[in-house]
Every structure is written in C-alpha cells, then in structure tokens.
Chains A and B, each alone.
Chain A
Amino acid sequence: MLKTRIIPCLDVADGRVVKGVNFVNLIDAGDPVEAAKAYDAAGADELTFLDIHATHENRGTMFDLVTRTAEQCFMPLTVGGGVRTPEDVRALLLAGADKVSFNSAAVADPDVVARSADRFGSQCIVVAIDAKTVSPGKWEIFTHGGRKPTGVDAIEFARTVAAKGAGEILLTSMDRDGTKGGYNLPLTRAIADAVSIPVIASGGVGTLDHLVEGVTEGHASAVLAASIFHFGTYTIGEAKAHMAAAGIPMRLT
C-alpha cells in the first residue's frame, strides 16, 4: 500500500537555512546539507528546498547545495524558487534534484509546465500554488510571496497545470502559512478532489493533528511542514507514529 509522505521544507537563502534548524547533533544549524542529512536519518519521506531569494546571481550557490545534498542523502529531493524555464529544470535535475517546482512562472505561462513535462517527464515537475481565500469557497492564486494577486482561480489553475502534465501540486494556503492554526482544509480538499495528481498540503501546521487532518479531511497525498520539525517541537518519528495511530498508512522506519 502506498504510504502518506511527510515532507520537511527548508527555506534557503544564499545557501543557508533561513531561521536555522534547531536540532541537537547538528554541527552547523544553518547548513542545509547538515539539516538534510538529519532529516534523512530521521526517516523523512522526501525533502524540499525552497530558494526564497532566488536571483540569477545566487543560482550557483543553490546548485552547489543540491549537488552536495544528493551526494549524501539517498532520498527524494524537490527544489523550488526562481524556476522559470525548462532550462532551469534541466540545470537543477543535473545538479541532483529529483523534482523541480514551478511557481510564478507557471501562473504567467502555464505552457512552461507542458514544455518541461514533455522533455523531462511529469514525475519531476511540481507546480507550487499559493492561494488565498477571496470569498467563501473561492480561492485565488497569489504570487511574489503572497503579495501579488493574479485574478486566477486556484481550482481552475490546478486543473490546468494537471492537464499540462504537472506530476504533483504543492498547495500552500497563504491565509494559514505561519499561523500554526492548521491547513486550510476546504481549500486542500477542493484542489485534491479536482485533480488526479497527488497534492501536498502546506501552510499552517502547528500540531500533529493538523497533519492528520490534512490527509483525512484535506485528502492530501503528502503533508509538508517546516517549523514544527525545524524547531524540534516534534520529530519525524513522532509525527509518523501519530498519523499511523490515526489510521493513516505511514512508512515507519
């Protein structure tokens, strides 16, 4: 049986983890490679690096980071932030990423998803959707870290990118992100039920029950969280045990 995935997400800027990762045993809490190794050992199912200040000048730093991580962590790695073209996808795949995530570029031109999926396969193309509630039961895509409204309906956009060959959707609720109040479950369920590809729930996790709800009520195939793991509030093992106890199939290691 396929297991529900737990995915820690590391925000990276200029090759360093933003806010750091608060584990014991880490030689350098700001080094994404050290954090990745710790999560690998802890049994995380995948890992995501998000380059939050992606600029042309600092791409080399990100490639180097991805390469060093892939040399030491034999687990799936998704990289996002500043990905605009199929060439960007290719460069990150060659550096060692397993999946590459589009965000604003896919909103501006959904065909970039099709061009990338045709060339590299749907399995490595993720589309990150940042959505905000605009009225009950209606969600709009925002770009530029949630600052820029696009007028694009989130559910329609999810259907579009799925049809263009995206292999997965990383769905972040901008209303919930950073609140620790739990995922936006109606949004998550609306998107997960609208597409046949897996949806990763993101934004707002504060407790282990939030992870459970993301799957049971949000219908997500995977749950992403950052701070609850980085700050050591919960371990990956505790999260998996809690979800398994709630009846969700988990890979217990």
Chain B
Amino acid sequence: MALTVLVDYDSGNLHSAEKAFQRMAAEVDAGEILVSGRPEDVARADRIVLPGDGAFPACRTALGEHGGLFEAIEESVRRQGRPFMGICVGMQMMASWGREYTDTPGFDWVGGEVTRITPSDSALKVPHMGWNDLVIDNPHPVLDGVQTGDHAYFVHSYAFRVANPVERLAHVDYGGDITAIIGTANMVGTQFHPEKSQATGLRIIANFLRWKP
C-alpha cells in the first residue's frame, strides 16, 4: 500500500494536517498516512509532506537534530524523485535562503529567499493572517480544479521571493505580491494551510495525493 509520511520534527500542529490528509487519502484511495520523525520512514515513503510552523532557523535546526532527517528528505525527494509537498514554513524550507533573524540555508530546491513581508500600505498588518484569494500564475496538476479567486487561509510574517517566475504557481496580493504556491519537478509547496482552507485546501491535498510527477 502506498505510504505518505507527514514529517514530524516538533514543529507545530500536525493533528489537523494528519486528519485532512487521512480524509482525502481515503477519498482518492491513496493508501496510508503516517506521522513520523524517523528518517527510515521518510526513506520508505512514496510521498513526503513537510509541514512547519514557527521560525525558519528553528525549523532548519530541528530537521538537523532528528538523526539525519534533513538528509533523508534530501535523498528521497531530490535524488529518488518522490513527490513532495511543503506547507507554510515547510514550503519556505525549499528555498535557497531564509532571512528570518539570521541567514539560514534551506534545501535550495527552488531558487529564492524567504524575507519579511513589507506591505506597500503601512496600514496592512503583519502577520498576513486570514483568507486571501489566489491568483494562479502557472497551471499545475496539483491545482486541478482550483481557480483564480478561490480563497486559502494564510498565517505568516515571512514570504518566499521566487527567483524563477516559472516556479511560482500562484500568488496573492497583500500590499504587493506574496507567493502562495510554488512547484518544480516533483516538488510543490503552499504558503497557506491547505488543511485549514476548507474545500479549496482539501482539493489541493487530494490532487497532491494523486499526482504522478
């Protein structure tokens, strides 16, 4: 049976992500969902999901402390080509650099850097928190059925500036463009929380579980 591992590295709330992936895995017959922080589970996973809340450097450190988790993900995703989905800070980890507090290298799968949101309108609050409408930049199988104007739930103070526009699949407007979805080869990432984004989010999860890059 196919196995999707939600990587647990003590960053944030995995329960709601687990329940959303379980619900959609049952619907599209995508096999088992396992929450695990063990590199050996990542190594045997058919799909990998990296959630994440909190600060970029703390998440990067936590991945490094879990007995080779960072390396296991790198091996499985980059070299074995397994489908990967990053969520929130898990998506930001795909960047070359995180500029939160200090300069921290990420997986460097998608060129660009993660920097603090600075809305052009100073009345706009940071964190960018709430529902914002997606603008699709580039079509992608994981966005099947998702349209410009659909809403997703965001909570973040830092955003991913993607170097190559082809790899930015969708953005939202918040006093300037904020990257919402990225994708390249076998990897996708969402800045928003699909597990909190009601029907739109569940559809993206289902699409990911069916995706054969």
Contacts and interface: CB of A to CB of B under 8 A. Distances in A.
Interface in A109-129: 119-124
B12 A74 contact: no
Nearest to A1: B173
B155 A40 contact: no
A120 B53 contact: yes
Contacts of B196: 74-76, 98
Interface stretch (B37-45, B102-110, B122-130, B136-144): B122-130
A149 B30 CA distance: 55
A226 B34 CA distance: 37
B130 A74 contact: no
Interface stretch (A19-27, A89-97, A175-183): A89-97
Interface stretch (B15-23, B66-74, B161-169): B15-23
A197 interface: yes
A4 B132 CA distance: 9
A121 B53 contact: yes
A151 B98 CA distance: 41
Interface residues of A, number: 35
Name which of A77, A122, A168, A221 has the most chain B CB atoms within 10 A of its CB: A122
B198 interface: yes
Nearest to B52: A121
A67 B15 contact: yes
B186 interface: no
Contacts of B127: 122-123, 167-168, 197-198
Contacts of B207: none
A1 B126 CA distance: 14
Contacts, number: 109
A159 interface: no
Nearest to A167: B127
A46 B155 CA distance: 12
B125 A197 contact: yes
A87 interface: no
A103 B20 CA distance: 30
Contacts of A93: 12-13, 15
Interface of A: 1-5, 40, 45, 67, 70-71, 74-77, 93-98, 119-124, 167-168, 196-198, 221-222, 251, 253
Given A2-B174, A123-B127, 11 more contacts: A2-B131, A40-B198, A70-B15, A74-B202, A75-B153, A77-B16, A93-B15, A96-B16, A123-B157, A196-B126, A197-B125
16 contacts: A1-B174, A2-B124, A2-B154, A3-B132, A71-B19, A75-B198, A76-B193, A96-B15, A96-B19, A120-B12, A121-B53, A123-B129, A123-B155, A198-B125, A221-B125, A251-B133
Interface of B: 12-16, 19-20, 23, 53-55, 89, 124-133, 151, 153-157, 172-174, 193, 195-198, 201-202
